[in-house]
Amino acid sequence: MDFNWLSTILFFPAVGAIIIAFISGKNDVLIRRVAAVFTAVPFILAVYLFITFDRSASAAGVIQFEENYLWIAPLTARYHLGVDGLSMPLLLLTTFLGFLAVLISWKVHERTREFFAWLLLLETSITGVFVSLDLLLFFIMWEIEVIPMYFLISIWGSGRRQYSAIKYVLYTLFGSAFMLAGILSLYFTTGTMNMIEITNGGLGMLQSAMPAAAIFWLLFIGFAVKLPMFPLHTWLPDAHTDAPTAVSVMLAGVLIKMGGYGMIRLCVSMFPESAQQYAQPLIILALIGILYGAAVTLMQTDIKRLIAYSSVSHMGYVLLGIFALGQVSMTGAALQMFSHGIVTGLLFAMAGLVIHNVEVRDLRKLGGLARQVPVMAAVFSIAGLASLGLPTTSGFAAEFLVFLGSYNSTAVPYAQVYTIIAIIGVVLTAGYILWMLQQAFFGPVKDIYTGVRDADRLEKFYMFVLVAVIMLVGIYPAILTDVFKLGISPIVGMISG
Amino acid sequence: MIPYQLIWLIMLLPLFSFIINGLVLRQFINRKSKLYGYVTITAIAVSAIFSIWALLSVAANNEEIIIPDVSWVVIDNGVNIHLGLIADQLSTMMAVVVSVVSLMVQIYSLGYMHGDEAGYYRYYTYMSLFTFSMLGLVLSDNLLFTFVFWEMVGLCSYLLIGFWFHKKSAADAAKKAFIVTRIGDFGFLAGILILFFNTGTFDIKELHELAITGVLAGTVLMWAAIGLFAGAMGKSAQFPLHVWLPDAMEGPTPVSALIHSATMVCAGVYLVARTMPMFIYSTEAINIVAIIGGFTAIFAATMGLAANDIKRVLAYSTISQIGYMMLGLGAVGMALAGEISGGELHLGTEEMLIIAKGAVAVGMFHLFTHAFFKALLFMGSGSVNHSTGTFDMRLMGGLRKTMPWTYATFLIGSLSLAGIWPLAGFWSKDEILVSAFESQKILFYLAMITVFLTAFYMFRAIYMTFHGEYKGGATDDGKDHHHTHESPWVMVGPLVFLSVLAVVAGWWNLTGAFNHFMGHEAEAAASVAGGLFGAFTHTVEGIPLPLISLLVALFGIFMAYVIYNKKWITAGSVGKVFGPLYTLVYRKYFFDELYENIIVKLVALKGLFTGFQLFDSKGVDGAVNGVAEVVTAGGRAIRHAQTGQLQLYGLFIGIGLAVIGICVYVFG
């Protein structure tokens, strides 16, 4: 523990936010540059950590880059950070998208200072969720995220932004209420806030005050809202539709991953027996999410709303992978989280660009844009194809591992049947993605869109970076799965199959 | 003996040309430059040379070339996926077909795509990607990577059908092709998962072993095989997933020649052949292959009778001929079913392997010959279009005078397709007929009727296009098409080359050499006509089958001559006699209406999905909004009692604590 890497990554954006707060609001250029620097540094550090991360087999389940200080003595709450194989790639993803979100917001001119300050604070809080190993710290980070999100949506959003922002806050707090209850129950029954200790101690640490299943469900509801799981998903389309582009990217890219991460980190690894007991109904909800989500997606005509609903469907695969409770399926779920982060992040960035440049968001009115904006059309198509799980993109690697792992799961009865049903989703996905691409970019060229600006240099930069990562993970998924499996194998080891 | 690294290059060279064209060259040169074409052609030419070398190496030693694997993803001991290539008789033969046809198509495209406003850049970039993916599909040694490339060729097909994406019909057709084949891919993926679950491997050779030794058997094997065949049905446009292929003709014609006739749509046949041991040990699955194939052959041929668009005639013909190949692969199934007594198959491993190899030899031989003459026919129709500006045969006629080379090569292709001695199609079709005759008479009769139909619709096309009076060509593109002309040499050259192959490709098996190459030794003499002239005297079970099929084909040509050339009987009067039947065929048995208007639009989009949408906004969200309103009202109420701004937050913490209390009470 020679250098506090994680703390540096965690608080760098927050420090940036404070500095930005002191810059004159008129100095847009400086604000953007400061924001870029204070998100670029954590990203570079995260890349460094990812490279130096110990991938040897003996590192399975080991917390790396750990920091552990006493924080609130009476509660035995500690300032305890660390990453394992599960959280390391998610940390990388958060800092990566955090940096790109700043670039994506380069054209925000309204109340720039506040916008970037909130955006950076948002990154800190999300990072905090992924690196905290203390329940109190975890919960605080989880809650802080609501504040910047509320302001970002309600001030810089569009459409019914007030409604969507409030809805987002209410939903999150609704889930958090259950989660807090769960965390407090955990604390009162085990006497510790240390997540690792609770996981390792197993259910033996639970004293009789609360049954394990009850705590499992309390925690689960909190995470299920965030994931989002059917039927708790309706906040997501509204929030996405009305949020500014960069916020959509962060929301789809990393925020909802907090739900999946929490499920694995708290629900499954602390309550393996409950997870197994309730796996079947949860998988059925996952299937509903996948198919129903895809069906509703097919009905959308607003470009951002369509992508938002597709997230409901895609997160169904995550839920399926997690609760199939196999090592491969859970690795697939983790990879799906990462993949969905970059793919949907790119889709939202592109949709935002279309809306910004064309100033139309209704797919029925768009059309023929491939001639006028070829670069955007090409990148949007690649993102779409990744979203429908085309091989050589990360989407395929992730979905395939989820299917493979779920089908082979021995922990859950009828896993094969559920998996086959889930695969129907890929046909529906192809339907809505191709429909969206056709509506926006193909068909007769429309004169009213002549002169629409294509992506500029900065936009091309972040697009191509995302495309490169999507392809890299798609062609060589081992770059991530080798890390994920270190975090997941000890968890799966606790499940009797 | 070819070094194994070169096998990798067969597949990777087109990938390099894809990267060079797609990412590098575009930075420096205009999209209309022919350089893109030259890069692609060079890469594929070298690929073709290596493929032929590989084929010769395999043939010379009669054994496959061993190629080391590359590791891809390792998650735990159970999931350890490797990427490897297989270079045996089957795959090297396919590689030759793919690279040679692709090479011809790329050269031809230099002429055909000349002056297209989209330029060569996008076209050759996609074509390189396609050729890479198709060669990858063919050479892959495990089902996972077969599937990966399977999807990649689907993507290329999508991109190339929609090449002229500003036309709504093209964009629609591309989307339809992708989605319909994806329905089949659902089965393919499920099949792979079933196989992996039961065997722990994707490796094709290991799966063969397991099927042969009986480890993989029963319902598991049946469903796995049916799953794989579902994928094949989608890709190869077999009934009931055939609807996408006729629409796919919206793409540029060389694309149709390469992707939608010679290579990609035959991938389904290749997949079944590749996994033949799995099918042979599941009589249900192999019978499904035969029945679907036999039915599709005649079903598609009837639709070809009424089409007026020359490319659509060829498209139906392709579906029909692929049905033939499937029939060739599956025909042994009925014979096998006869061997079952008491639920057990009483054949030794050796006998089963011979049957499997025989079936593969029959099906693949037709794939081999068909690839050349069908690519030739498509490119011929492209040549016609180049001159007349249309694909509608009713606007053509009399072109044989102005386009002699196109006419001659198209005629050779048609004769070959119709199965006229001694052209390639005659030999390969004959073997399928023999195979069907020996196992299932009904399928045989269907196949025989199809021979007649095939000869008839092809010569209908020839008479409408090349004979009679010229009717003026396209009228809607603002160009003058009154003076037709022969296409440039860059287009005619490939036509001539392919027409030579359309004649001689069938001679490979004159004395059973092809069967021998495919490892099918035992009954080589029995099913082969025995030399060039042996065909006339060859008999199967005492019946001169080759002669009969030749006469049936000639009768088909004669009928077309009577109706469309001499007009002794007019097409209109034939149409009247068969009135409703004609409408049924002309409207493609109403499958498009059934799928698009009823199933997709009415049931799914207007019915079910709209219901879901309403449920989502009114049901799920409505309920939540109701709760939210109550809560906000509650918050407002509390606000009256308290000061400060944090009460909402506090309220929820309070609810949380209350929930703990309830939980303790309920569970505790």
**ipTM of this predicted structure:** 0.86
Highest-scoring range by mean pLDDT, A90-94, A275-279, A390-394, B653-657: A90-94
Does B193 sit within 8 Å of A403, measured CB to CB?
A: yes
Q: How confident is the model at residue B667 (pLDDT cuts 50, 70, 90)?
A: low
CB B37 within 8 A of CB B85: no
CB within 8 Å: A434 and B178: yes
**Which of A180, A185, A232, A414 to mutate against chain B (most B CBs within 10 Å)?**
A180
Kindly determine whether residue B190 and residue A434, on different chains, have CB atoms separated by under 8 Å.
Answer: no
Chain segment A99-150, per-residue pLDDT in tens: 999 999 988 888 888 899 999 999 999 999 999 999 999 999 999 999 999 9
Residue with tokens 């523990």: A1
CB contact under 8 A, A181 and B610: no
CB pairs under 8 A between A and B: 179
Point out which residues pair with B80 in neighbouring strands.
B74
In angstroms and rounded to an integer, the radius of gyration of the C-alpha atoms of chain A is: 21
pLDDT of residue B13: 92
Query: How much is the pLDDT for B521?
Result: 67
Contact B193 A441 (CB under 8 A): no
Distance from CA of A340 to the nearest CA of B (A): 19
* Percent share of chain A, pLDDT over 70: 98
The answer to whether the CB atoms of A177 and B666 lie below 8 A apart is: no
Task: Indicate the range of A40-44, A86-90, A379-383, B66-70 predicted with least confidence.
Answer: B66-70
CB < 8 Å to A441, chain B: 165
Is there a contact between A231 and B73 if contact means CB atoms under 8 Å apart?
no
Segment 633-652 of chain B within 8 Å of chain A by CB: 648-649, 652
How do residues B603-652 score in pLDDT, each as one tens digit? 777 777 777 777 777 777 777 767 667 766 776 766 655 555 566 666 77
Q: pLDDT digits over B339-369, tens only? A: 765 556 667 777 788 888 888 888 888 999 9
> A408, A433, A441: which to substitute to probe chain B, counting the most B Cβ within 10 Å?
A408
Model confidence over B560-585: pLDDT tens digits?
A: 888 887 777 776 777 777 777 777 77
Is the Cβ pair B166, A444 closer than 8 Å? yes
| Cross-chain residue pair A444–B616, CB shorter than 8 Å | no
pLDDT digits (tens, 9 = 90+) for A251-302: 999 999 999 999 999 999 888 888 888 999 999 999 999 998 998 898 888 9
Which band of pLDDT confidence, cut at 50, 70 and 90, is reported for residue B666?
low
Interface of B with A in 603-622 (CB under 8 A): 604-605, 608-610, 612-613, 616, 620-621
Q: Are B245 and B319 in contact (CB under 8 A)?
A: yes
Q: What pLDDT is recorded for position A202?
A: 65
pLDDT of residue A142: 92
Report the percentage of chain B scoring pLDDT > 90.
24
**Which residues does A241 contact at the CB level (< 8 Å), separation at least 6?**
A159, A164, A302, A304, A305, A308
Would you call A181 and B152 a contact, using CB atoms and an 8 Å cutoff? no
Cα Rg of chain B (Å, integer): 28
Q: Which residues of A touch B613 (CB under 8 A)?
A: 295-296, 299
Given an 8 Å threshold on Cβ–Cβ distance, is B621 in contact with A234? yes
* b/e per residue A323-332 (b: at least 16 CB within 10 A): bbbbbbbbbb
Mutation target to probe the A interface, by most A beta carbons within 10 A, among B79, B197, B610, B615 is B79
Considering only CB atoms, A177 lies closest to which of B604, B610, B656, namely B656
Q: Do the Cβ atoms of B656 and A181 come within 8 Å?
A: yes
B140: phi then psi, degrees, rounded to nearest 5:
-60, 140
pLDDT at res. A497 = 54
Question: Mapping DSSP to helix (H, G, I), strand (E, B) and coil, where does residue B532 land?
Answer: coil
Distance (Å) from the C-alpha of residue A295 to the closest C-alpha of chain B? Answer: 5
Long-range contacts of A453-462 (CB under 8 A, 24+ apart): A453/A357, A453/A373, A454/A357, A454/A372, A454/A373, A454/A374, A454/A375, A454/A376, A455/A353, A455/A373, A455/A375, A455/A376, A455/A379, A458/A103, A458/A106, A459/A353, A460/A375, A461/A103, A462/A100, A462/A103, A462/A104, A462/A349
Query: What confidence score (pLDDT) does residue B622 get?
Result: 72
B186 to chain A: which residues are within 8 Å by CB?
Answer: 423-424, 426-427
Show the tokens assigned to B368. 């081999």
Q: Which amino acid is residue B2, in one-letter code? A: I
Cα of B479 to nearest chain A Cα, Å: 21
pLDDT at residue B320 in the model: 92
Q: Who among B158, B162, B197 is closest to A407 (CB)?
A: B197
B157 CB neighbours in chain A (<8 A) are none
How far is it, in rounded angstroms, from Cα A327 to Cα A323? Answer: 11
CA of A399: which chain B residue's CA is closest? B189
Q: Which residue of A has its CA nearest to B201?
A: A404
pLDDT digit string (tens) for B179-219? 899 989 999 999 999 998 888 888 888 888 888 887 887 88
Among A178, A416, A476, select the one facing B197 at the smallest CB separation: A416
Residues of B in contact with A467 (CB under 8 A): none
Better-scored residue on pLDDT, A209 or B165: B165
A488 to chain B: closest CA residue: B75
Residue pLDDT, tens place only, A374-407: 889 999 999 999 999 898 899 999 999 999 989 9
Chain B residue closest in CA terms to A212: B667
Q: What is the pLDDT of residue B524?
A: 46
Residues whose CB falls within 8 Å of the CB of residue A143, separated by 6 or more in sequence, listed in order:
A176
